[in-house]
Amino acid sequence: MTTLAFEFSGERRSVALAEGTRVLAVEFQDGGRATRTLAMIGAVFAKAGIAKSDVGRVAVGIGPGSFTGIRIAIGAAQGWHLATGCRVAAVGSFEALARALAEESPGNWLLAADSQRHEFAVATAIDGTLATAPALIGRDALALRIAAGERAAGVDAASVGAGAWPRQPDAGWIARIAADGSRDVDAGSLAPVYLREANFAKAPPGRVIPGITDVAAGD
């Protein structure tokens, strides 16, 4: 089955096409605030030389990572599903990163992604398999783990800390992981991996502006 995959959780955004576990083409976008989603889709189909109608599954890297980027990828996947009725798969971005690192250098890895507010999403991977679920830790705690000798790879490695390998998940691995169908989900259930509890602040009372907010409609 042909899979179209999106991985937008880091600074390096990517779109890939794969036939089973064989990656046909990958298109990357580095940096920049605007994600060229449609242009990347068009480019990867041109590289692969296949038709859009060949796609039987669309797969999304759901993080952890850039909340906005992941939401853009989810929107693209849900739109493709609505238009074609194809299958939809959700793949953890850290799992894709772990698989790529295992091919490059097997062993134990500490994966990290900057989650803002002086916190990082981290997980431990062993030979391509996540040994711990992603969790939030503080900047100082991450620095201590790296200083203690844990081999680290990170999205935005400069913020992760000295010695961290600069590595990001890519859509080719998202497609390969999704190929066996075990990550297929209902399209409506797609959601980013978000490790913080939702906090809601009650809006303050409306301000009274004489002659404006204290005047009834139609007066």
Side-chain-side CA neighbours of residue 117 (13 Å): 6
Distance, in Å, from the CA atom of 212 to the CA atom of 100, rounded to the nearest integer, reads 60
Distance, in Å, from the CA atom of 56 to the CA atom of 149, rounded to the nearest integer, reads 44
Label residue 213 by pLDDT band (50, 70, 90): low
Q: Are residues 66 and 117 in the same domain?
A: no
Say whether 198 sits in a helix, a strand or coil.
Answer: coil
Q: Are residues 161 and 141 in the same domain?
A: yes
In a domain, 206, yes or no: no
Residue 35, pLDDT above cutoff 70: yes
Distance, in Å, from the CA atom of 172 to the CA atom of 149, rounded to the nearest integer, reads 30
In a domain, 131, yes or no: yes
Q: Are residues 110 and 83 in the same domain?
A: no
Residue 197, pLDDT above cutoff 70: no
Label residue 212 by pLDDT band (50, 70, 90): low
Q: Are residues 11 and 85 in the same domain?
A: yes
What pLDDT is recorded for position 205?
61
In a domain, 197, yes or no: no
In a domain, 218, yes or no: no
> Average pLDDT of 15-22?
98
Residue 47 structural domain:
2-93+169-189
Whether residue 87 contacts residue 11, with contact meaning beta carbons closer than 8 Å, is answered with: no
Residue 46, pLDDT above cutoff 90: yes
Residue 18, pLDDT above cutoff 60: yes
Label residue 193 by pLDDT band (50, 70, 90): very high
Task: Sort 74 into a burial class: Cβ within 10 Å, 0-12 / 13-18 / 19+.
Answer: buried
Whether residue 57 contacts residue 180, with contact meaning beta carbons closer than 8 Å, is answered with: no
In a domain, 137, yes or no: yes
CA dihedral 188, 35, 112, 133 (to 10 degrees): 10
Q: Are residues 88 and 31 in the same domain?
A: yes
Q: Are residues 176 and 153 in the same domain?
A: no
Residue 208, pLDDT above cutoff 90: no
Residue 125 phi/psi, 5° resolution?
Answer: -120, 140
Higher pLDDT, 210 or 152: 152
Mean pLDDT of all residues belonging to the chain = 90
Q: Are residues 144 and 173 in the same domain?
A: no
Label residue 200 by pLDDT band (50, 70, 90): very low
Q: Are residues 76 and 178 in the same domain?
A: yes
Q: Are residues 13 and 36 in the same domain?
A: yes
Angle between the N-to-C axes of helices 37-48 and 67-84, in degrees from 0 to 180, rounded to the nearest 10:
60
In a domain, 35, yes or no: yes
Question: Residue 51 maps to which CATH number?
Answer: 3.30.420.40
Q: Are residues 103 and 159 in the same domain?
A: yes
In a domain, 152, yes or no: yes
Distance, in Å, from the CA atom of 169 to the CA atom of 175, rounded to the nearest integer, reads 11
In a domain, 157, yes or no: yes
Task: Sort 94 into a burial class: Cβ within 10 Å, 0-12 / 13-18 / 19+.
Answer: buried
Q: Are residues 106 and 6 in the same domain?
A: no
Residue 77, pLDDT above cutoff 90: yes
In total, how many domains does the chain have? 2
Q: Annotate 73-125 with DSSP letters as a single string.
A: HHHHHHHHHHHH--EEEEE-HHHHHHHHHHHHS-SEEEEEEE-STTEEEEEEE
Label residue 155 by pLDDT band (50, 70, 90): confident
Q: What is the pLDDT of residues 60-71, one digit of tens each?
A: 999 998 889 999
> Average pLDDT of 126-153?
94
Label residue 25 by pLDDT band (50, 70, 90): very high
Q: Are residues 154 and 116 in the same domain?
A: yes
Distance, in Å, from the CA atom of 75 to the CA atom of 56, rounded to the nearest integer, reads 17
Which of 134, 166, 198 finishes a domain? 166
